[in-house]
């Protein structure tokens, strides 16, 4: 189940990135569950990772290697998170990195590992190593669809974005994939996302663009309020475009590329919410007139993560009392509720802290019957505004997670 029609976009290949997949049999038989990404020499790579204190062995390894070298390969598996596995998990990661390094004639320190799946089980490195020749043999610039499918776990559909922009008469390509359907409230990342561009960017600019884009996208979504042990979001810039270097923050070309990359991140983030486990609703929560960005986000997440709000969304029940209760529970200091307005799309529900005279149950029901709508809250405290995207909480979400390991 997912919100909205499934559609695979037209994909533009990124010169300097090749992708290969294989069926390693990590959790399921006869399905691709291993992805190898080859990154051309001279590229710049940056990323953001989960800040869960129980971060997985591949996260620790990827962060270390990325801090020391520009990677030439990513190795990504689904079906096993290799988190909370101690030394055996570390050894499994190292075995996989060494196998990639030997096959790719590089150093294991130039390979970044990523895993997603069940926590607490050691990655079966022998299965990964055995499948690597197949992954190397299938390397191609065209394999974005296969790559997106290989990293899926409870996702119901692959997620991708691809676009071209023009800078000084030359084309720049941005293409990315992501996976994620549950355990989603990222803290500096999403479940797994890999975005590549052929733009010429120095490492510092790639890092800056990555942080800005992630903060405006993957850090603005929540499905269930949980942050995974394995979240990672990587940005690759191969420099293969004919467009000149874009390394002057603040100039028009830099702003144009940042905007395009951020929009691609946002597309992937919203696709994750639309495919939330058991999701039947896609809801944009827009908070305006906050005293600060932080308090606007706190209100947005208080609404988005409230089980009572989320179950009302699933039931298509316009119980707006749950919205105001969540706002009041966000912890804002000296909140004057008389300054608060709440709208469902364009329907005014709460005006100056009380039920709007123009509101009717029928109007609210018409909005809640939609599969997509917005909740708009004006706090009346300042000029800050933020948007958070979320989904509902359904019977199917409980079933999926109750049976996740069976």
Q: Which of 190, 197, 229, 238 is catalytic?
A: 190
Phi-psi region of 15 (alpha: psi -120 to 50; beta: other; left: phi over 0): beta
Q: Which of 257, 55, 84 is nearest to 171 (CA)?
A: 257
Q: Are 272 and 3 in contact (CB under 8 A)?
A: no
Q: Which two tokens stand for residue 232?
A: 């990672």
Active-site residue, 190 included:
yes
Q: Are 283 and 389 in contact (CB under 8 A)?
A: yes
Q: At what angle do helices 307-314 and 321-328 cross, to 10 degrees?
A: 160
The CA distance from 141 to 75, in Å, is 16
Q: Which two tokens stand for residue 388?
A: 């958070």
Active site residues: 190
């Amino acid at each position: 189940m997912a919100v909205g029609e499934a559609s695979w976009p037209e994909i533009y290949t990124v010169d300097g990135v090749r992708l290969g997949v294989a069926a390693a049999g990590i959790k399921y038989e006869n399905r691709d569950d291993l992805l190898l990404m080859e990154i051309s020499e001279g590229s710049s790579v940056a990323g953001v990772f989960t800040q869960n204190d129980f971060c997985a062995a591949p996260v620790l390894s990827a962060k270390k290697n990325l801090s020391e070298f520009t990677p030439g390969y990513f190795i990504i598996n689904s079906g096993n998170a290799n988190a909370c596995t101690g030394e055996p998990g570390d050894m499994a990661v190292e075995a996989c990195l060494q196998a990639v390094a030997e096959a790719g004639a590089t150093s294991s320190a130039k390979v970044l590992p990523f895993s997603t799946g069940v926590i607490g089980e050691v990655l079966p490195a022998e299965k990964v190593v055995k499948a690597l020749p197949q992954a190397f043999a299938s390397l191609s610039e065209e394999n974005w669809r296969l790559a997106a499918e290989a990293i899926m776990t409870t996702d119901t559909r692959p997620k991708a974005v691809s676009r071209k922009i023009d800078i000084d008469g030359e084309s720049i390509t941005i293409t990315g994939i992501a996976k994620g359907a549950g355990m989603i409230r990222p803290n500096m990342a999403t479940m797994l996302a890999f975005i590549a561009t052929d733009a010429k960017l120095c490492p510092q600019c790639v890092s800056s663009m990555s942080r800005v884009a992630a903060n405006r996208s993957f850090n603005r979504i929540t499905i269930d309020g949980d942050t995974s042990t394995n979240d990672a979001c990587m940005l690759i810039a191969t420099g293969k475009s004919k467009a000149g270097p874009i390394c002057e923050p603040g100039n028009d070309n830099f702003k144009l590329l940042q905007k395009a990359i951020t929009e691609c991140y946002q597309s992937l983030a919203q696709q994750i919410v639309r495919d939330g486990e058991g999701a039947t609703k896609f809801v944009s929560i827009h908070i305006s007139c906050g005293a600060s960005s932080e308090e606007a986000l706190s209100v947005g997440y208080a609404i988005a993560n409230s089980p009572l709000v989320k179950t009302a969304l699933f039931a298509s029940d316009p119980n707006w009392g749950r919205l105001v209760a969540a706002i009041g529970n966000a912890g804002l200091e000296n909140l004057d509720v008389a300054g608060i307005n709440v709208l469902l799309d364009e329907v005014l529900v709460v005006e100056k802290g009380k039920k709007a005279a123009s509101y009717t149950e029928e109007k609210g029901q018409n909005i809640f019957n939609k599969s997509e709508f917005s909740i708009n809250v004006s706090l009346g405290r300042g000029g800050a505004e933020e948007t958070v995207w979320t989904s509902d909480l359904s019977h199917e979400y409980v079933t999926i997670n109750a049976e996740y390991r069976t």
